[in-house]
Structure formats: structure tokens, C-alpha cells
A = this chain, B = another copy of it.
Amino acid sequence: MSIQKKEDATYELIISTAKNLFFKEGKFNATTQEIADAAGVNRTLINYYFRSRDALFDLIFEEGKKEDERRQEMIVLSDLPIREKLEMFIDYFLSQAKMYPYREVYMLTQIIKDDCCIYDKKEHVKRMSEKFYVELEQEMEKGTIQKMKPIQFMLNFISMLIFPVIMRPFLQNNFELDDKEYDKLLAGRREVILKTIFRNREESNLDSL
């Protein structure tokens, strides 16, 4: 079934080319011909290595899901204080977003298209998520963060982080900003988000961001 005698450089080339088209250029509906051209290979090699166009799309989507899981595990499995967990997550996400600005939108459109996306979290991740929620509630008791359902807190957090990235084309036009200005805006997100979410720190002025 699987073809892997030689180094399957072509196989990997096709995948990474497709990923670039999807995640970097936003060509969510690229044809096999377009992908092949971009990779500089014959179109039918896509059928040879992946059976069908759909199979290639699915493969990339599944890889994306695994990356999502890794992210989630990163935030709940690490043994750091809440704030540092979140900081780590922000930094990681923003750096990834620089590389693959359309990644999240692609994942979303795929989910919408198939109308199915079962993330089967591993048991230990579920357990750690519960623990993470308890930690959050402790912070709320301390007054470090505003009291609310932990899931609402998480929604706030990822919304403020991810939305400005995935809606960039929309927002940049709407706010009438050029590329450089928007990059600066994104760079400022880290501090803004932390400032918005945590309350006990000194009220430093964020005007310069």
C-alpha cells in the first residue's frame, strides 16, 4: 500500500508545497495542477502518492489537528505558573502565525466543509485540563484574574490572541493600516493580552504599544 523505498523526497515536497499554498498564500481551493506546478512535479504524482486530491487535503488537515493538539498539551502539561504558561503559548502561536498566517482559517474552512472534526483528546490531557481549570480558579480566588467560568477565560484568551491573526486581511483594511503598521500591532498583542487578563500587576502604561 504505502510507497517508501527511496527517500520519498517528492512525497514530502508535495506536502510542503501544498501546505505553503494553503497556509501561506491562502489558496484554499488550489487544484492539483496548481499544486503540482508550484512543486515543479507532474500532476499525476499527486495521485501516485496520495491516491486523490481529497486524500492530500485530508492528510494536511490531520497534520494540522495534531499540531493543534500539541499546542493544547503545551499549555496544560507544562509545570509552570499560569501566567508563564500563557506567555509561552502566546509566543509560540505568534511565531507560528508569522510563518503560516492562513493556517487557522484553512483549518476552519475544512471543518466547515466536512462538518465534522472529532478531536479525540488523550485521557491524560483531559485530566491535566481539569487540573489547569482548577489552577485558574485558584488565581481567580487570589484576584489575579477576573472571576468567571474557566472556559470563558480561555475563550477570552485565545480570542484575543488568534482573532487578530486570522482576520488580518479584514482588519487591516478596515482599520486602514499598512503591513508594517499591522505587524507592529500584532507585536504589541502579547503585552496587551496579558495586561487585559491579569489584574494584580502594576498598572504600567501601554500607550507605546
A38 CB within 8 Å of chain B = no
A sample of 12 more A-B contacts (CB under 8 A), given A155-B160, A162-B167, is A28-B112, A72-B174, A115-B169, A118-B173, A119-B173, A147-B207, A149-B188, A152-B192, A155-B164, A155-B171, A159-B162, A160-B160
Q: Which residues from B are CB-within-8-Å of A9? A: none
Q: Which of B156, B162, B197 contacts A192 (CB 8 A)?
A: B156
A131-159 CB contacts (< 8 Å) to partner B: 146-149, 151-152, 155-156, 158-159
Measured between alpha carbons, how far is A159 from B108 in the docked complex, in Å? 16
Q: Is residue A48 contacting chain B, with contact meaning CB distance below 8 A? A: no
A111 CB → nearest B CB, Å: 5
Instruction: Identify which of residues 11-50 in chain A touch chain B, using a CB-to-CB cut-off of 8 Å.
Output: 26, 28-29
Interface of A: prevailing SS: helix
Residues of A bordering B, CB below 8 Å: 26, 28-29, 68, 72, 102, 104-105, 107-109, 111-113, 115, 117-119, 121, 146-149, 151-152, 155-156, 158-160, 162-164, 166-167, 169-171, 173-176, 185, 188-189, 192-193, 195-197, 203, 205-207, 209
Partner of A207, one of B118, B148, B185, B192: B148
What is the bound-complex CA distance between A21 and B196, given in angstroms?
37
Inter-subunit contact B149/A206 (CB<8 Å): yes
Docked Cα-Cα span, A109 to B102, in Å, equals 10
In the complex, A209 Cα to B146 Cα: how many Å?
13
Across the interface, do B196 and A111 meet the contact criterion of CB distance under 8 Å?
Answer: no
Whether the pair B147, A206 counts as a contact (CB closer than 8 A) is: yes
What is the minimal beta-carbon distance from A204 to any residue of chain B, in angstroms? 8
Give chain B residues whose Cβ lies under 8 Å from the Cβ of A152: 185, 188-189, 192, 206, 209
Residues of B within 8 A of A193 (CB): 156
Residues in B with CB closer than 8 Å to A107 are 170
CA distance A119 to B176 in the complex (A): 8
B195 touches A146 (CB 8 A): yes
